[in-house]
Amino acid sequence: MKTGYLVLQDGQVFEGYRFGAGGDTVGELVFTTGMCGYIETLTDPSYAGQIVLQTYPLMGNYGIIREDFEGACCVKGYVVREWCEAPSNFRCDCDLDTYLKEQGVPGLWGVDTRQLTRIIREHGVMNAAICDEVPADLTPVKTYAVTGVVEAVTCGAAAELPAEGEAKFRVSLIDYGAKRNIARELQRRGCAVTVVPATASAEEILAAKPDGVMLSNGPGDPAENTYQIDQIKKLLGKVPVFGICLGHQLTALALGGTTYKLKYGHRGVNQPVRDLAGTRTYITSQNHGYAVDSDSVKVGRVRFANANDGTCEGIDYPELNAFTVQFHPEACTGPKDTSFLFDRFVEMMKGGDR
């Protein structure tokens, strides 16, 4: 076993053992609390630029299943307490170590992930490095920033995905780092999906005459994406719109709202969300480090709020035929409590629920 180190930007050092790809890496260290779903975590483009720390102590026990991938592996590094060298699963294609090597992702195991999680919760998200030797100069770690990631993870060209069964609607899915299950949920509901890159213009999207536009999840600071925000301004009110995660944040920014960085974000599969229009509380999957400031919402109305910290989890824009949510109703693996929101979007395209 080869010794490695996780070095935090404040100089704290955690010794462990290397697995996955060799070499050093620097990224924003974030933790996620899911007990399962590590495959979906590793293949969620929303983690671009980040070193992912798993709070659950054992990862990799059901191996890597390529059929379950949500997208490209964009993580900068992977930190676990323990990884399973002999996964048991008839669907398994390879083990966790092999996959990380394939993707060029450095990993570290054998560290105290509980202590690291406490540090992040108290201090807030911070940068870190996975390395073979503790660096004398921490400047590259301290100055690292997650920037330009939407352009880095979006698709290179448009792609057509057929509906399951009869095609009833045509949806343009803007890929800011889209998880594949967003398209799958739409396809299951009779939608032919055109996935378009984040660089597509509103004019190009509207020229295809879609019945609805889906704004996907994605990585990074939402306020950085000024071009995408301008395109959403041109789309709103012209066609039904449903936004998830980054799409939710970009829509709020397009309508004059503001966003801010959370201390340590919401990442996991058990985040409680209250429906402010009713009495229900839903358990949701989430992966975000920024939130919409509820007090900044002047257009539309806040529909969902996080039951733990009260942060904005969704906004309805009935006058614009649009709605957005911060959580992931398409989550795999994750709770299915809010998958009905895709049905709501279909009804909106039919001319029903606004």
Q: Which residues are catalytic?
A: 245, 328, 330
CB atoms within 10 A of CB 257: 20
Cα separation, 14 vs 113, whole angstroms: 10
Closest CA to 312 of 298, 302, 301, 327: 302
281 φ, ψ (degrees, to nearest 5): -120, 130
> Is residue 126 within 8 Å of residue 10, measured between CB atoms?
yes
CB atoms within 10 A of CB 202: 18
Closest CA to 192 of 165, 174, 218: 165
Cα separation, 99 vs 249, whole angstroms: 32
Q: N- to C-terminal Cα distance for the chain? A: 58
Handedness of CA 196, 197, 200, 202 (dihedral sign): positive
- Examine residue 333 and say whether the peptide bond preceding it is cis (omega within 30 degrees of 0): yes
- Give the per-residue SS3 of 298-327: CCCEEEEEECCCCCEEEEEEHHHCEEEECC
Cα separation, 336 vs 353, whole angstroms: 21
Structure-block tokens of residue 44: 């969620």
Q: Strand 169-175 and strand 159-161: pairing?
A: unpaired
